[in-house]
């Protein structure tokens, strides 16, 4: 049985080309899957005709009508694998800080979280919240060097991976953070369908901070350098893909 997938890969401040290629290679491991690729969510007719949706975006917000149709599509029984910055809205202020404004509450409620900040990239430990879940069983806690997403929960979620954090995110308006557990991978159930969100997976190349910086000095690959991340992606894609009938 053919499976139709839409991959939305677009946005700013990340190496979208790298993420797009890696995801296409993973999708190609299932020969049933045919993929259409877009830079944003406005190709909603293609999404509504698809069996699954995969997104790797940053600062890409659908129009309100598309937000509503995305939620209805998931509620109708479809699955969406949402990655890294899909829940982000970023604005660089004259003060030099980065704001994450509340400009898309409907979209963020659909996703289950909204991005607020991250501390400087550094190694941290990923904890397995639910080690018995099929998406995480057999995966041990692991260390990664990535953007540690500090997000606000906007709807009921089932946390599968988390990180403990207390400290500062000095580049962001919301810069002070008391100790708390932050979800890194979770399920957001909507009607007959669901979203699997994985906040890991930062990547950036030399040209991806333009126009803020002409040349970013260090190529960053984040959790893409960890075998555990690829295993989580493969499991997420299997979860999102309709079974063989």
CB 203 within 8 A of CB 18: yes
Maximum distance among all Cα pairs of the chain, rounded to whole angstroms:
56
Q: Which residues are registered as beta bridge partners of 123? A: 145
CB 193 within 8 A of CB 167: no
CA 217 – CA 207 distance, rounded (Å): 9
CB 56 within 8 A of CB 201: yes
Q: Which helix (H) or strand (E) holds 152?
A: strand 150-153
Whether 55 maps to a domain, the answer reads: yes
- Residue that is written with structure tokens 């555990």 in the block: 228
Whether 111 maps to a domain, the answer reads: yes
CB 203 within 8 A of CB 181: no
Whether 115 maps to a domain, the answer reads: yes
Whether 245 maps to a domain, the answer reads: no
The structure tokens listed for 142 are 């692991």
CB 53 within 8 A of CB 33: no
Q: What is the pLDDT of residue 244?
A: 82
- Residue that is written with structure tokens 């929960």 in the block: 153
Whether 130 maps to a domain, the answer reads: yes
CB 233 within 8 A of CB 26: yes
> Across the 245 residues of the chain, what is the mean pLDDT of every consecutive 10-residue run?
98 98 98 98 98 98 98 98 98 97 98 98 98 98 98 98 98 98 98 98 98 96 98 98 87
Domain of residue 19, residue span: 3-240
Residues 6 or more apart whose CB falls under 8 angstroms from that of 162 comprise 126, 127, 129, 181, 182, 183, 184
CA 93 – CA 91 distance, rounded (Å): 6
Whether 106 maps to a domain, the answer reads: yes
Whether 234 maps to a domain, the answer reads: yes
The DSSP code for 220 is B
CB 108 within 8 A of CB 154: yes
- The CATH number of residue 85's host domain is 3.40.50.880
CA 118 – CA 21 distance, rounded (Å): 25
Whether 122 maps to a domain, the answer reads: yes
- Total domain count for the chain? 1
CA 107 – CA 112 distance, rounded (Å): 9
Q: Full-prediction pTM beyond 0.95?
A: yes
Q: Judge residue 167's burial from the number of C-beta atoms within 10 Å of its C-beta, 0-12 exposed, 13-18 middle, 19 or more buried.
A: middle
Pairing relationship of beta strands 142-146 and 122-128 according to DSSP bridges: antiparallel
């Amino acid at each position: 049985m053919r499976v139709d997938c839409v991959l939305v890969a677009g946005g700013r401040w990340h190496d979208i080309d790298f993420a797009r290629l890696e995801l296409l290679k993973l999708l190609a491991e299932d020969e049933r899957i045919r993929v259409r690729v877009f830079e944003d969510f406005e190709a909603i007719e293609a999404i509504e005709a698809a069996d699954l949706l995969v997104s790797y975006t940053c600062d890409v917000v659908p129009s309100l009508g598309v937000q509503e149709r995305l939620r209805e599509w998931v509620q109708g029984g479809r699955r969406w694998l949402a990655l890294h910055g899909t829940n982000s809205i970023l604005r660089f202020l004259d003060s030099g800080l980065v704001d994450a404004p509340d400009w898309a509450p409907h979209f963020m409620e659909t996703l289950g979280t909204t991005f607020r900040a991250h501390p400087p990239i550094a190694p941290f430990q990923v904890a397995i919240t639910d080690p018995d879940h099929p998406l995480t069983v057999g995966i041990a806690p692991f260390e990664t060097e990535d953007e540690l997403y500090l997000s606000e929960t906007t709807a009921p979620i089932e946390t599968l991976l988390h990180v403990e954090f207390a400290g500062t995110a000095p580049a962001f308006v919301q810069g002070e953070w008391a100790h708390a557990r932050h979800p890194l991978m979770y399920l957001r159930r909507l009607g007959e369908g669901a979203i699997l969100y994985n906040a890991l997976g930062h990547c950036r190349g030399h040209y991806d901070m333009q126009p803020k910086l002409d040349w970013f000095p260090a190529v960053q690959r984040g959790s893409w350098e960890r075998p555990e991340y690829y295993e989580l992606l493969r499991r997420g894609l299997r979860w999102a893909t309709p079974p063989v009938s």
